[in-house]
């Protein structure tokens, strides 16, 4: 969702740079693991890191399939989630289950939802919703193509928050690797042109 729009153009502009991507939705230490950079929501980037925006705010979408809604009433309020199978997300690093955050009366409220499915890759939640397993709490760009094609229906839209967006982050070093410097400059230029 975040790097895919940048990758092809960057690799074309810098054909000699080799890029290796790893997907780990847990909170890992990129320095300890030997990575040049990482991508996170702004709120979870450590204070001692340099952070470069990779787009603007990103909204949350809660979605379910038409088949799921044939069997279950459409939730109108966050409190209705207790009557639904809500695909849960477990952070791989800490093992904690993510509590769904919804905007209620101007503040974020966390909901500890129930499910018979817990995943650790956010793309699986959309797939589960498409299969009619339950409701998915996901980022709007991941769900939008399926909403437009009517394979998923968005619910609780007025309660869905938006987050400041994703950031490329890396340690502040005097000697930044040239390949990272090139990618940061490319990302900054691309963000301005969006």
CATH topology of domain 4-23+33-56+164-189: D-Maltodextrin-Binding Protein; domain 2 (3.40.190)
Full-model pTM: 0.79
Q: Where are the domains of the chain?
A: 4-23+33-56+164-189, 58-163
Residue 40 CA to residue 51 CA, distance in Å, equals 9
Are the CB atoms for 49 and 172 separated by under 8 Å? yes
Per residue of the chain (194 residues), what is the pLDDT tens digit?
778 888 889 999 999 988 888 776 666 777 888 788 888 777 777 888 888 888 888 899 999 999 999 999 999 999 999 999 999 998 877 788 999 999 999 999 999 999 999 998 888 999 999 999 999 999 999 999 999 999 999 999 999 999 888 888 888 766 778 888 888 888 888 865 44
CATH of 58-163, one of 3.40.50.620, 3.40.50.970, 1.10.10.10, 3.40.190.290: 3.40.190.290
Token readout for 134 is 């339950």
Classify residue 95 as exposed, middle or buried by CB count within 10 Å of its CB (0-12, 13-18, 19+). Answer: exposed
Residue 18 DSSP SS3? coil
User: Cα(134)–Cα(68) distance, rounded to whole angstroms?
Assistant: 7
CA angle 147, 150, 155 (to 5 degrees): 55
């Amino acid at each position: 969702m975040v790097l895919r729009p940048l990758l092809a153009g960057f690799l074309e502009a810098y054909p000699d740079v080799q890029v290796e991507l790893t997907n780990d939705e847990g909170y890992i230490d990129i320095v300890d693991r030997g990575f040049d950079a990482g991508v996170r929501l702004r709120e979870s980037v450590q204070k001692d890191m340099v952070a470069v925006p990779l787009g603007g705010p990103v909204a949350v979408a809660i979605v379910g399939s038409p088949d799921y809604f044939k069997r279950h009433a459409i939730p109108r309020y966050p409190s209705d989630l207790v009557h639904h199978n809500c695909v849960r997300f477990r952070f791989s690093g800490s093992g904690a289950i993510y509590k769904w955050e919804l905007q209620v009366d101007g503040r974020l409220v966390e909901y500890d939802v129930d499910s018979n499915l817990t995943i650790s890759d956010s793309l699986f939640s959309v797939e589960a919703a498409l299969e009619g397993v339950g409701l998915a709490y996901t980022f709007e760009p991941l769900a939008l193509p399926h909403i437009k094609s009517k394979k998923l229906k968005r619910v609780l839209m007025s309660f869905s928050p938006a987050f400041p967006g994703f950031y490329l982050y890396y340690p502040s070093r005097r000697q930044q690797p040239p390949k990272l410097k090139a990618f940061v400059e490319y990302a900054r230029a691309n963000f301005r042109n969006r």
